[in-house]
Amino acid sequence: MNQVGAVGLIAALVFAIYGMITGAIAGKLRSPRMLKSAQRAVLGFFAMATLAVVSLEYLILTNDFHSAYVASHSSRELPMLYKIPVLWSGQEGSLLFWTWLLSIYVAMAVLLNRRKNRQLMPYIISICMGVATFFSLLTFCVANPFNQLSLATATGVTPYAPPDGNGMNPSLQFHSMVIHPPMLYLGYVGMAIPFAFAMSALMTRQLGDNWIRVTRRWVMVPWMFLGTGIVLGGLWAYHVLGWGGYWAWDPVENASLLPWLAGTAFLHSVMIQEKRGMLKVWNMVLIILTFFLSIFGTFLTRSGIISSVHAFAKSDIGPWFSVFLAIIAAFSLTVLFLRLDFLKTENRLDSIASRESGFLFNNWILLAAVLAVLWGTIFPVVSKAIQDVTVTVGPPFFNKVMIPIGLLLLFLTGAGPLLAWRKTSFQSIKRNFTVPLIFAALVGGILFYVGVHRLYTWMSLFLCAFVAASIVGEFYKGARTRMKTSKENFFSAIYNLTMRNTRRYGGYIVHFGIVLMFVGFAGQAFRFETQGLMGPGDLLQAKDYMFRCESIDTGKKANYQYETASLSVTKDGHSLGVMEPQKRFFIAEQQPLSHVALKSNLARDLYVVMAGTDPDSGKAIIHVIINPLVQWVWIGGMIVLLGTILALIPSRIEREMADLHKSQQEVAEAHHVR
């Protein structure tokens, strides 16, 4: 099976190179035959990349330790649930996985555009296959997952298989880790498609409404995956790392945030181009930046150039990525520069108090966030290169810089939708802002009264109230109009309103999810921690909660040994049940890991870690954290996901417009063929 996988990988590389060349020729010569050939190359690339992935999974599932990759990242006792993610737990496998996901995206782009966007498709295929060539080449030449172990003996080199593998990194053996990396990768990889659409539109001078409408959806899908991946990563860090937090401004975390922020900026500014024909160059820049940051993120994650708690693989792929990033920047900026004349703005701004300028300032803040995160992330490398001093840029830096930026962004989230396109009159501003501001002031007053005195925390919750009120107001006003005009009841009105314009109301739901996440972030200001040594019968108080150690037990599972402290928890004399934090020792990997015990409700999480055993007393070191409002981060993340899915569903208006456009395009295509 090793050979089959290797053949699949080589064949995928050949198909990628062929598709890149034929796609470019088809674009240049406008040849339908060459386009067909390029499309077949894409499907061939998908089939061969799939063969390589299936082969590697087969080697993993059958414990074939002749494979160097399987021997390094898996073991016999590794549970089946965690055998599948072995594919992306190491450098070689994850690059193959990247290549395979790209093959899925490109194949989908080809299949969904069999009868559409015929002029754009040749260059789209060529560009995507160019990216595929890079990743296939990298996987084949630098990080080949199909290398076999061998022993040099007197009779020559013979294949070798150790009795068992080294196992998987214990911190990766967690349920959200099974889906977190695929989500992130789907986000990173998917940004190649809108990039290819944008470049193709520039190269073919097809810069009308069509490419932007199609591209928006192709950005939204990976943006959704990236966002979901980021939240799942936070969930993993919260449950596995044992420090009671979910975001540490680690370089790899930042790497995933960068394209998400740039993509968010695009999803907002694209509306100005659609409605007003403005910001055309800027949108191109954002698409290029988003794709560039996606590749940069993959580079940071996989190269280990910057120390990170998430850098599970380090290798010498850095120079390859540097060259590839330079090629992307040079190619895309050259194409953009050559087509600047086709990207003239069609309209003028009527007023500063308008939705357009709201989006412009939203883009300003998002790009400032990108710059701040990027600069903080790469500063250790810059410092080492310039002053030969190793510095660390961690949470104190990012919190100081990013909290004000985040609050500004939160304000615009609420204020933007209250502004009308073209021009908003003073009367309208007064009318639209009054209720949300009064509600926010009321909430702010109550918060101050109950003891929320930290400036940023207070401001965050004040703005959350403002944004939430503005969103609810938008739904209410829309529903009230429908109730008057269509005689619908309130719930039907809300439903029909939303389904009539899924993009707008899906967007509001996304905003509401962001608000809930900010509520969760603000809760961190009230975090409480305590620690104590506990043996059977010992007590530990954490605010109103009393923990009593009932027993400390040891045991063994298939792939780890464990020590568990059973702690009964009471509050004001009422039992809240038993919590069982665990210390695990993974046998194959020879690594210890704590398993957090959690009791959650919407107000707070009780977070208990068994940090170790005191060598003198033999008692367990128990660390208790009371984490207020954390659940709102996960709930908010889920609502962002639902809102995005809703925004992806075509609304009735969009479907009608799409039908009209399709018939127009068919007529144009028929002309083109003749």
Partner 1 sequence: MSVSRLLKILVLSLALVNVAVAAQSPAQIEKDIGDKVYCLCGCVTTLNHCPMLQCAEKEEMRGIIRADLKQGKSEPAILQDLVNRFGEKVLAAPPASGFNLTAWVLPGIGLLIGLLLAMAIVRRWRRPAVQAAAASTAHPVDESVRSAVEEEMKKYID
Query: What's the per-residue H, E or C state across 281-321?
Result: HHHHHHHHHHHHHHHHHHHHHHHCCCCCCCCCCCCCCHHHH
In the numeric block, the tokens 């802002």 are attached to 433
Identify the bridge partners of residue 545 per DSSP, sorted by sequence position: 542, 571
* Per CB under 8 A, 393 contacts partner 1: yes
The residue from 333, 352, 578, 649 that contacts partner 1 (CB under 8 A) is 352
250-270 CB burial, b ≥16 within 10 A, e <16: bbbbbbbbbbbbbbbbbbbbb
Site stretch for partner 1 (CB under 8 A), options 119-127, 190-198, 463-471, 611-619: 611-619
Site stretch for partner 1 (CB under 8 A), options 24-32, 120-128, 349-357, 550-558: 349-357
Site stretch for partner 1 (CB under 8 A), options 81-89, 105-113, 419-427, 632-640: 419-427
The count of other CB atoms within 10 Å of the CB of residue 510 is 26
Shortest Cβ 592–partner 1 spacing (Å): 5
Site stretch for partner 1 (CB under 8 A), options 69-77, 131-139, 207-215, 363-371: 363-371
* Per CB under 8 A, 73 contacts partner 1: no
Decide if 260 contacts 229 (C-beta within 8 A): no
Decide if 41 contacts 19 (C-beta within 8 A): yes
Decide if 42 contacts 106 (C-beta within 8 A): yes
What is the separation, in whole angstroms, between the first and last Cα of the chain? 50
In the numeric block, the tokens 């605010």 are attached to 543
* Per CB under 8 A, 392 contacts partner 1: yes
- Helix, strand or coil for residue 169? coil
Residues recorded for the chain: 674
Nearest Cα residue to 609 out of 578, 569, 582: 582
How many whole angstroms separate alpha carbon 288 and alpha carbon 198? 8
How many whole angstroms separate alpha carbon 449 and alpha carbon 446? 5
- Helix, strand or coil for residue 609? strand
* Per CB under 8 A, 395 contacts partner 1: yes
Which residues inside 544-583 make contact with partner 1, applying CB under 8 A? 583
Shortest Cβ 141–partner 1 spacing (Å): 29
- Helix, strand or coil for residue 134? helix
Q: How many CA atoms lie within 13 A of 610 on its CB side?
A: 31
| Number of residues this chain uses to bind partner 1 (CB under 8 A) | 75
* Per CB under 8 A, 209 contacts partner 1: no
Output 137 or 367, the one with its CB closest to partner 1.
367
Site stretch for partner 1 (CB under 8 A), options 25-33, 115-123, 385-393, 641-649: 385-393
The count of other CB atoms within 10 Å of the CB of residue 598 is 14
The residue from 2, 37, 273, 363 that contacts partner 1 (CB under 8 A) is 363
Shortest Cβ 195–partner 1 spacing (Å): 23
Shortest Cβ 405–partner 1 spacing (Å): 7
* Per CB under 8 A, 640 contacts partner 1: no
The residue from 160, 379, 439, 476 that contacts partner 1 (CB under 8 A) is 379
The residue from 396, 536, 555, 650 that contacts partner 1 (CB under 8 A) is 396
* Per CB under 8 A, 308 contacts partner 1: yes
72-88 CB burial, b ≥16 within 10 A, e <16: bbbbebbeeebbebbbb
Shortest Cβ 395–partner 1 spacing (Å): 6
The residue from 375, 489, 649, 659 that contacts partner 1 (CB under 8 A) is 375
The residue from 427, 554, 575, 601 that contacts partner 1 (CB under 8 A) is 427
The residue from 307, 486, 600, 663 that contacts partner 1 (CB under 8 A) is 307
551: DSSP letter: E
Site stretch for partner 1 (CB under 8 A), options 38-46, 427-435, 464-472, 663-671: 427-435
Shortest Cβ 623–partner 1 spacing (Å): 10
How many whole angstroms separate alpha carbon 215 and alpha carbon 263? 12
Site stretch for partner 1 (CB under 8 A), options 3-11, 240-248, 488-496, 513-521: 240-248
The residue from 7, 43, 104, 405 that contacts partner 1 (CB under 8 A) is 405
Output 52 or 168, the one with its CB closest to partner 1.
168
The residue from 7, 367, 546, 642 that contacts partner 1 (CB under 8 A) is 367
Which residues inside 143-172 make contact with partner 1, applying CB under 8 A? 171
Burial of 533 (0-12, 13-18, 19+ CB in 10 A): middle
Which residues inside 446-505 make contact with partner 1, applying CB under 8 A? 448, 453-455, 458, 477-478, 481, 501, 503-504
Output 205 or 453, the one with its CB closest to partner 1.
453
Output 204 or 308, the one with its CB closest to partner 1.
308
The residue from 5, 167, 187, 376 that contacts partner 1 (CB under 8 A) is 376
- Helix, strand or coil for residue 600? strand
Shortest Cβ 419–partner 1 spacing (Å): 9
Nearest Cα residue to 199 out of 71, 91, 339, 407: 339
Which residues inside 309-328 make contact with partner 1, applying CB under 8 A? 309
* Per CB under 8 A, 528 contacts partner 1: no
- Helix, strand or coil for residue 584? strand
Structure tokens of 661?
């456009």
